[in-house]
Structure formats: structure tokens, C-alpha cells
């Protein structure tokens, strides 16, 4: 399966066992991406984790 990086438009090869919600890194631009849909494969930039500062 192939998907396109939403940041740099690079073609990214996904393994057959890729699941929705999986995080991966674009090999071209290094952006952390999240698999939002598997069939057809769709990637979005992964949400940034915010510090909770112990709250």
C-alpha cells in the first residue's frame, strides 16, 4: 500500500499490517504522521502531544 505525505507529498510505502491510528515518520521530511484511514490509505500530521505538567 502507498500513501502520500500531506506535508511534502512524498510517496510512503505502508506495510500490509498497517492499522488505523498507527504513527509513522515520513522518510523525506521527517514529519510524524498518523494513519487516519487504511483503505484507501490516508495520512495526516500527527497531533502534537501537550505537556500536562502533572495535572
The domain spanning residue 33 has which CATH number? 2.20.28.160
pLDDT at 43: 97
Q: What is the DSSP string of 32-55?
A: EEEEEETTTTEEEEPPPPPP-TT-
Residue 54 lies in a domain: no
Residue 53 lies in a domain: no
Radius of gyration over every alpha carbon of the chain, rounded to an integer in angstroms: 12
Which position has the higher pLDDT, 54 or 48? 48
Residues 13-53 pLDDT 10s: 999 999 999 999 999 999 999 999 999 999 999 988 766 66
Residue 12 lies in a domain: yes
The pTM assigned to this predicted structure is 0.82
**What's the structural domain count of the chain?**
1
Which position has the higher pLDDT, 51 or 9? 9
Residue 51 lies in a domain: no
Q: Which of 19, 50, 14, 53 is nearest to 5 (CA)?
A: 14
Residue 7 lies in a domain: yes
Residue 32 lies in a domain: yes
pLDDT at 52: 65
29-53: b or e for each residue (b if 16 or more CB lie within 10 Å)? eebebebeeeeebebeebeeeeeee
Amino acid at each position: 500500500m502507498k500513501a502520500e505525505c500531506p506535508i511534502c507529498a512524498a510517496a510512503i510505502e505502508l506495510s500490509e499490517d498497517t492499522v488505523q491510528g498507527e504513527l509513522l515518520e515520513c522518510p523525506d521530511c521527517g514529519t510524524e504522521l498518523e494513519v487516519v484511514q487504511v483503505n484507501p490509505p490516508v495520512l495526516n500530521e500527527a497531533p502534537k502531544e501537550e505537556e500536562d505538567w502533572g495535572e
